[in-house]
Every structure is written in C-alpha cells, then in structure tokens.
C-alpha cells in the first residue's frame, strides 16, 4: 500500500467534493434568481427559457435559460413536479 498515493488521492477527492458542493450551491442560487425572473449575471429581468427537455417519466427536467442582455447561458436539472405517481405518464 502506497500511503502517499492514497493521501494524494484523498486530497484530490475531498477537493473535488468541496468544488462540487460549491458549484451546486452557486447553481441553486442562480436558479432561484432565474425563477424570480432575473438574470443572475446582470440582474435584469430579461432571462428567457430557451430549451426544455425531459429525461423521462420520473427523471428531472433539463431547463436551459439564456439572457439576451449579457449572453448568460446555463441549464438546470429540475425535479419535475408530478411524475409517475400522479398518473400523468401511464405507459
Ligand atoms: Zn443577463
């Protein structure tokens, strides 16, 4: 067992987890801003939903937003309300 390699891997792993959590937090804040109708970058109310696709019955929806003012673009995976439990998608 190479201890240094293991320690190195642990540092990389915990580092990427922190980055991922930070990324999720930032993304959540951006989505909250968008859902109020404001662009998270330039804070104008010009944000537009440009694409919307569902990954399946119970899967999250992928929403893409774009701001024509500052060319901000981002897509969010949003848990779709409803789903199979509501009987909306009977196969
Ligand atoms: Zn903008």
Helices H, strands E: what count in the chain? 1, 3
Q: In what order do the strands lie in the sheet with 61-67?
A: 48-54, 61-67, 72-78
- Tell which CATH classification among 2.60.40, 1.10.287, 2.30.29, 2.20.25 matches the domain 3-82: 2.20.25
- Near ion ligand 1, which residues have CB within 5 Å? 39, 41-42, 67, 69-70, 72
pLDDT tens readout for residues 6-27: 999 999 999 999 999 999 999 9
Ranges assigned E (strand) in 7-58: 48-54
Distance 70 CA to ligand 1 centre (A): 4
Query: Which stretch of 6-10, 11-15, 53-57, 68-72 has the lowest confidence by average pLDDT?
Result: 53-57
Between CA 25 and CA 22 the distance in angstroms is: 5
Q: Tell me how far the alpha carbon of residue 54 lies from the centroid of ligand 1, in angstroms.
A: 25
> Hey, which residues does 67 pair with through a beta bridge?
72
Q: What pLDDT was estimated at residue 55? A: 67
Q: How far apart are CA 87 and CA 57, in angstroms?
A: 10
Q: Where along the chain do its domains lie?
A: 3-82
For residue 89, what pLDDT band results from cuts at 50, 70 and 90?
low
Is the pTM higher than 0.85?
no
Distance (Å) from CA 11 to ligand 1 centroid: 36
């Amino acid at each position: 067992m190479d201890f240094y390699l293991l320690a190195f891997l642990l540092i990389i792993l915990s580092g990427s987890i922190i980055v991922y959590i930070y990324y999720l937090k930032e993304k959540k804040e951006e989505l909250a801003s968008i859902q109020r109708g404001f662009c998270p970058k330039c804070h104008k109310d010009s944000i537009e939903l440009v694409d919307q696709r569902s990954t399946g019955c119970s899967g999250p929806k992928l929403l893409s937003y774009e701001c024509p003012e500052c060319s901000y673009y981002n897509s969010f995976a949003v848990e779709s309300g409803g789903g199979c439990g509501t009987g909306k998608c009977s196969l």
